[in-house]
């Protein structure tokens, strides 16, 4: 899967959970900037897992903090999908 496809899936998940338009999502924005709190990040994690048919899983060691930027979230999910 290409990084671009993963980025689209991640952006769509963030937009859906936070109920915002895709064009409001900017790479340098943190999830908190977009209105997320820790409960929203759990919902984002669950939706991303669902979108990848549970092929990836977040756990205690790899969770999404609200201070994470959208760009870092893309890279984070890419690393889970395609480990180096």
| Residue 3 reports pLDDT greater than 70 | no
Give me the number of domains the chain comprises. 1
And the tokens for 73?
């979230």
Greater confidence (1 vs 57) lies with 57
Q: Is the dihedral of CA 66, 67, 69, 75 positive or negative?
A: negative
Task: Check residue 82 and give its pLDDT.
Answer: 79
Structural domain of 67: 3-81
Residue 84 pLDDT class (50, 70, 90 cuts): low
Task: Check residue 57 and give its pLDDT.
Answer: 75
DSSP letter, residue 8: H
Q: Report the CATH number at residue 66.
A: 1.10.1200.10
Residue 27 pLDDT class (50, 70, 90 cuts): very high
Task: Check residue 1 and give its pLDDT.
Answer: 60
């Amino acid at each position: 899967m290409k990084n671009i496809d993963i980025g689209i899936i991640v952006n769509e998940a963030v937009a859906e959970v936070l109920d915002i338009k895709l064009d409001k999502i900017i790479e340098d924005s943190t999830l908190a900037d977009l209105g997320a709190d820790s409960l929203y990040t759990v919902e984002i994690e669950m939706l991303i897992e669902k979108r990848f048919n549970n092929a990836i899983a977040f756990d205690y060691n790899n969770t999404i903090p609200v201070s994470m930027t959208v760009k870092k979230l893309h890279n984070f999910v890419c690393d889970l999908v395609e480990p180096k």
